[in-house]
Each structure stands twice: as C-alpha cells, then as structure tokens.
Chain A
C-alpha cells in the first residue's frame, strides 16, 4: 500500500501514464480546487480591473478592497430561490448548466502545468481538449431550448453559431502549431500537450516566435478566436443586456446561473492554457537560450518568490493607505493579514527545494494570468460586434488568415 503511494513519487511520469489511480485522484482534486480558486480570483480581478480602467474603484466594502466580494456573490447566488419557468423542460433545464461546467472542467485533464505535472498526458491531448470544449456548445443550446421562451432560444442559437464558427479558425491555428512540432530531426510531431512543450524546449524556441511572423499570426488568430469561443467581449452580443435578446441564460437564476458563469470562466482559463502551451512555451521560463547559464537560472527561479513579495508589498501599501477610522479597523486587520500570508508564501518560495518544484507551475500560471488580463482589457475597451459582423469576421477574416498561416508554415518548414 505504502509502496503504491510512494512508488509514484519517484517516477517522472504523470499519474495517468503511471497508472496510479490514487495520485491521479489527488491531482484531479488539486486541479479542481485550483481552478475554482482561479475563477474566484478572476471574478474579483475582473470587477476591480474593469473598474479601474473606467475611472472608478470597484468593490471596496465587502472585504478590504473587495477581496471577499466573490465569496459574498457566491453565497448570494447559492441562497437564491430556484426558479424554473413553468413550461420549461425540466430535465434539460437541469442538465444544461451541468453540461457546460462538465465540458469546461473535463478539459483540464490534459493541461500541463509542468513536465510531469498534469493529470495525464494523452498522446492526443490537444485533440481531446478541442473536442471536449466543443461539448459546451451543446449545453448552451440545451439552455436556450429548455427555457421555453423565444428570446433565450434565439440567444442560444446565436451563441452556438458563433462558437461553432470560431472553432474552425481555432482548429486551424492549432494545426499550424502542431505542425511546428514536427520540424525536428526525426520529422515526427506530437499531439500530446506535454510533447508540444517539450518540442518547443528541444527546438529552443517558443512557437510564437518560430518562423516569425507565422507563429505569431497563428497565435493572434487563436487569441481572437478564443475570445469569441468563450462569448466574451467584443463578441458577447448573445449575452449583452442592451440588445433585444438577453441571451441563453436569461431564465437561470441562483445556483444554475453561477454554474454557467463558472463554466464560462473555466473555459476562458482552459483556452488560455491551450494558447500558452502551444505558442508560449507552457512551463518554460523566458529566454532559455539567450539568458542561459547559472546566474540567470537563479534569477529566474526567484521570480515566484518575487511576485508574491511584490503582491505582499502592494497589500501592505494598501494597509498604510486605509483610512484611520474605527469603521475600517477590521478591514485594515484583514488586509494586513492578507499581506502577511502573501509575504509568508513568498518567503517559503525562496527555499531552494520549493523553488525548483514550483518554478514550472509558476511560469505556466503567470502566462495564463496575462491572457486573463487581456480578456478584461478587451472587455473594457471594445464595443460589441453586431452578429452578422461577428460571423463575417469569423468566416471571412480569421479562417483565411489561419489557413494561409498554416500553408505558409508548412511551406517554410519544408524548405
């Protein structure tokens, strides 16, 4: 029994590959908890960052600087009355949000946080991800249908049409990246997520910069398609309030609605992970060739600790700037505690053995976080596309560009 547990720790395979069910389950739980925490943090960050871009402050009351706001939102949604429209199809109404959440979360099985830090490494990893994330469309159509009202139906159909169209462009961009993995000595590429990152390591270049600008074009196409895929601004017509049809989730309230939102944010993180893995080198640290060697390795390995210490410093600055009034005492103590926790984590990350373990995960998470910030930035800046213009962009602009980049990559790769 103990063998079973410890034998895995010495192998350098993912639990799925090693066939170790216990550790696979542990990893699944860790990833699930991590993604949920990420969604909560994303909720807070979106409201705060959007607010600051719009010259206002965002949530400030619920915790210090609104840090507990997502928890308040979650509690509110959970205790809301569960309303089902009277003529709705109850079974489908119940399944639809579960479908969306399941599709979004299942994709995390193959997301690589490090060379062995994935739940499993299928040799068709990227194909699996694309396929499972398409199941989310089914959930949306079911949601629109089950509401038994023509506005959500139209919104659901529009949303699904949009997602399907942009999946084509996404797929072509992915093919272009996978093609690049085969441009090595043996000429054999791989679809496995860990394999793709390893290919980038072996070829010594992130695919975004390979055959510049071809890799970059593919990344850009994927970057736009992934925003449309997740129904986010500027492609959020199906769920915009100021248009006629308020979208497929009109009739959902409380827990079911929060499941939709959970699914949406999880899908955002999932497609960002795909982008990071395929083009931005996954868990690899920046500049492995140019800034190589011992001192640079050390400096880059200090980044995780530095990040947390900087965050702790910002939180401490916030503590100093809190108003000195009795009403704010609890908030000040809370924020100081938060700063303390962040600082502690930063200090722990300075310890060498921890540093090595965490380094890969850190770089992956930082890159995905950058994409999340881009999502919020797009939402603050751009107006919304009209539906026919949205479809036009998907089919008439992105698809030819992705196809052209793919062909060009193939041609250049052969030469």
Chain B
C-alpha cells in the first residue's frame, strides 16, 4: 500500500506538505471554461509559487448518461450514441461497439466489410492525431500547425462525408458489417489522400521536431515511466512512449489487422517529446496500413447474415480495440432481450487522465497545460 500512495494526489489524501511558511501555497482553479483544456475539465492546482505540488481533476461536466441510455435502446439503436463519446474519432467507437456485439452474437463481419472498417479506422486515427497535434501545438504557443493540420484533416472528413454522409459523428458501421457500399472512386480518393498527406506530415515535423523552443518545452516534461503507466492503466501512445511496446492491434488483433504489416513506434523516455514523436510515427504507420488495405479489398458482401431483430443469447463479453487515444473497451451484458442489460464503456481518456497528477508533480504551471494536451483527452469520452 505504501508503494501505491505515490499515485494518489496529495490533495485527495488531504495531506499537506509541512512547509515552514504555509502561506506560500496557492490553490488555483483552472476552471471548466478555459482555452487550453480541450473541453470542460476543471483542474484544481496546488502551487508553491510556480511549482505544482498536486492536482485534482474535477470531471463530469459532460456526463450524459450514455450507459444508462444503452439500457433503454436496442442494440442497433444504440450505435449512433457511441460516436458521440469520443467525438473526435467517432469511427473507432463504432468499430469497437459493433465488433463487441458481433462477438456476442457469434457472427463475423465478411472480409470486405472488415477491410473497409480497417481503412476507415486508420483514416480516423490520422484525423484524430492531426487534431491532437494542432491543439497541442496551439497550447504550447505555435499557432501555425493548427491551421495546417485542420486543412489536411478536411480531406479525411470529405472522404467520410462521401462514404456515410457525416463528417464528425459518422455512424459508419452496422452490427454485422457495413451498411454502405464504398462509393465509386473510394479507393482512388483514399490513395490520393495518402499521397497528399505524406509530405504534409513531413511539413508538420519540419515545423516542430527540431525547433529548439518546441524541444525545450516538451523534453522532460510530464515524465512517466513504463511501470507507472501499467500501474495506472494508461494505454495508447502514452504507454508506448514510455517504452512498453504494446498495441492491441498486434497483441489481440481484430478486424484484419493480423494481415497487415506495420510497426509499433515506441519511445524511450516517456516525456512529452516522445509522445509527440510516437504519434507522428503512428500517423505514418497508419498510412502504410491504408495503402496495404486499399490494395487488398476483396469482393463480396458487406453485411453478414444477422437477424433483423437482434437478440443475443444471455452472456457477457468484453471486447477492446486500439482507439487513437488508447484501449477502448466495451463490456456488454446481455439478458436475451433486444436491449442490452448493461453496456459499460471503458474510456481510454478517463483512465489516462488519472495519470495527470503523477505527471505534473514538481513541474511548472505552464507544463500542466502541455501535459493535458499530450495526454490527448476528449471530455466526451471521459465523462460519457
């Protein structure tokens, strides 16, 4: 137990440092409305001058009761709700849910649907990382990458719009496969996009990776070791940047990732700079996957034979995927009726946000904002 107390914020424990002049400590509130906190997040900081002694996150401003809603909707009706959690990368949420329910029904989506799913999921990963890069750079002060990444993200959103009609909350997949056949020119568009964006990623790197101000702002900021990451349950690029080479796409492959050839970028130090490099490398690996997948899409049906009224047998299942933010898991309990008995969403951002306290202890106030940005949290997912 004594080993674990280091993970708990001093504020939560009610401990106070025995400083000689207690008046040095200042409690500052980074309120729910704040340009840098990626949504409605309230962080209470306990400062000693400029140094952070402890933090406490107050969340729940965006709690919409998604899990309760799930108990009152049928399986197919709940599908659109899932996109609204991590609204930045909506396709991944849908992928996780559909695959979880398909497992419960013991059906498998046909290969063509799986390839389409992989292509859209990887495009979605690139879009999410681009948005992350723009906002993270903006928090640190570099205004320009925001505009570049959003301009390039538009191309992905155009592809989504042509495919399923929506840019943000796509509802792209259905239980059993995909509803929409790929449109005429889908492969051509995707290849054109991949060729378009590869030099653009180099452009982002050129602006930031060797920029000494960027390096100084991000190196050794928000350090977290691999062991701490595992203990705190942090997953995704944060875990990989701390040296743990683990990706659900390789460890427990889903869709057709087992047939794709890609690498998992790993960092060494677990600081913000490494997380930045890992995400940039992930973007490149996603492009690699997309190229392979587009070349290999098989012909065939896009929807498996699922009954019109979905009534999975009684049982429970847990299925997780590698969302851009980490391990996104769905724990579904079925009681044999058309509505799920319990849907539990294991949000990566919720668990990653716990690590904030450990990462900013002893850092300066300006680093708190950099670390919140580097954790890549989306409040829709944290609060559900």
Q: Which residues of A contact B (CB under 8 A)?
A: 50, 53-56, 233-234, 236-237, 240-244, 379-389
Contact = CB atoms under 8 A, between A and B. Distances in A.
A385 B217 contact: yes
Contact of B141 (A50, A244, A383, A387): A383
B35 interface: yes
Given A55-B148, A244-B365, A381 B30 contact: no
Interface in B189-205: none
B141 A382 contact: yes
Given A242-B36, A244-B28, A383 B142 contact: yes
B366 interface: yes
Nearest to B366: A386
Interface in B100-153: 137-144, 146-148, 151
A384 B147 contact: no
B50 interface: yes
Contacts of A386: 216-217, 364, 366-367
B369 interface: yes
The DSSP consensus for interface residues of chain A is: loop
B207 interface: yes
Contacts of B143: 50, 54, 379-380
Nearest to A154: B50
B217 A380 contact: no
B211 interface: yes
A381 B143 CA distance: 7
26 contacts: A53-B144, A54-B146, A54-B147, A54-B148, A55-B148, A56-B147, A233-B141, A236-B141, A237-B141, A242-B139, A243-B366, A243-B369, A381-B207, A382-B213, A383-B137, A383-B214, A383-B217, A384-B140, A384-B141, A385-B216, A386-B216, A386-B367, A387-B50, A387-B366, A388-B364, A389-B217
Contact of A381 (B142, B151, B364): B142
B151 A382 contact: no
Contacts of B140: 383-384
Top 9 closest A-B pairs, CB basis?
A: A384-B141, A383-B142, A383-B141, A54-B147, A242-B36, A383-B140, A386-B366, A242-B35, A55-B147
A53 B240 CA distance: 34
Given A50-B143, A387-B364, 14 more contacts: A54-B147, A55-B151, A237-B366, A241-B35, A243-B365, A380-B143, A381-B142, A381-B207, A382-B213, A383-B141, A383-B213, A386-B366, A387-B50, A389-B216
Contacts of B213: 234, 382-385
B40 to A, nearest CB: 16
A54 B137 CA distance: 13
Contacts of A54: 143-144, 146-148
B144 A380 contact: yes
